[in-house]
Amino acid sequence: MNRRYRKTIIAGNWKMNKTITETKEYAAEMREILGKPKWCEAVLLVPPVNLQAGVRAFKDVKISIGTENCHYETSGAFTGECSAEMVKEAGAKYVVLGHSERRAYYNETDMDVNKKIHAALRAGLRPILCVGESLEERELGVTMEKITYQLKCALAGVTPEQVRRIVVAYEPIWAIGTGKTATSAQAAEVCGAIRTLIRKTYGARVARSMSILYGGSMNAKNAAELLSNEDIDGGLIGGASLEPKTFLEIINASNQD
């Protein structure tokens, strides 16, 4: 983390978990234990159907609410989808885009992610853009090629003013939901390389102020070490965000002096 130049963000990605009732219960428990996060912005990314209830339930809890996907069109015949405008109006501040589960299970391409980034920015959302390599790609030594390609595609046509609203999350696919975390050195290396890429395209100021998160089995035990790296500005946390107490431990790990 480098709190001088950029915001630390601890974001929980609930995926397809929790009903509205469970969302309210989570918020009630958090209200009791959270207090005021000292340094970081805590965020919960919830299923779109939970957005309105979530925003209401977390109103007096210092946690921002977002969602996990949006469509790139404003409206139309896209059964089962939600537009960026819809999730924005339902109360989302952030939206996760390009998550590896969306890419793998719903065939989302890098071009789709680019269109979604533009749609989210137009709607006034803050995209959390996910990039990451598979185990095979890491073993072949093409991690940075893959991430460079994903970033270039996702950010095509995005201006320096717009890119300031984007958060990038490095999520090695082999570490997601597997209990296998990238070592602190592996995570820091890629997050640092992402910042260098941003610097080359958008200049030093933009790169310095961009929050770059690590995701992939981050938990209460490994968070402090990961977050002690200068280039890791927070986490995107799946499994360990589902219980208020464990999520709070990660938030607290970001409060180190």
Question: Applying CB under 6 A, which residues contact ligand PGA?
Answer: 13, 171, 176-177, 215-218, 236-240
* Contacts of residue 98, Cβ cutoff 8 Å, sequence gap at least 6: 108, 110, 113, 116, 129, 130, 131, 150, 154
Nearer to ligand PGA by Cβ, of 202 and 252: the residue is 252
Single out the catalytic residue among 99, 108, 133, 137: 99
Nearer to ligand PGA by Cβ, of 85 and 101: the residue is 101
Nearer to ligand PGA by Cβ, of 71 and 102: the residue is 102
Nearer to ligand PGA by Cβ, of 234 and 239: the residue is 239
Cα 2 to the chain's mean position, in Å?
18
Q: Helices 20-33 and 244-253, interaxial angle, to 10°?
A: 50
Beta strands in the chain (DSSP E): 8-13, 40-46, 63-67, 94-97, 126-131, 167-170, 212-215, 234-237
Return d(Cα 57, Cα 84) in angstroms, integer. Answer: 22
Q: Smallest distance, Å, CB 96 to ligand PGA?
A: 8
Give the nearest residue (CB) to ligand PGA: 238
Nearer to ligand PGA by Cβ, of 95 and 176: the residue is 176
Q: Smallest distance, Å, CB 114 to ligand PGA?
A: 20
CB 208 within 8 A of CB 230: no
Return d(Cα 256, Cα 63) in angstroms, integer. Answer: 19
Q: Smallest distance, Å, CB 239 to ligand PGA?
A: 4
Q: Smallest distance, Å, CB 120 to ligand PGA?
A: 17
**HSE on the CB side for 19, CA within 13 Å?**
2
Q: Is 99 one of the annotated active-site residues of the chain?
A: yes
Q: Is 171 one of the annotated active-site residues of the chain?
A: yes
CB 171 within 8 A of CB 131: yes
Q: Smallest distance, Å, CB 69 to ligand PGA?
A: 12
Termini Cα distance of the chain:
11
* CA distance to 51, 150, 158, 238, per residue, from 111 (Å): 27, 9, 13, 25
- Give me the active site residues, please: 99, 171
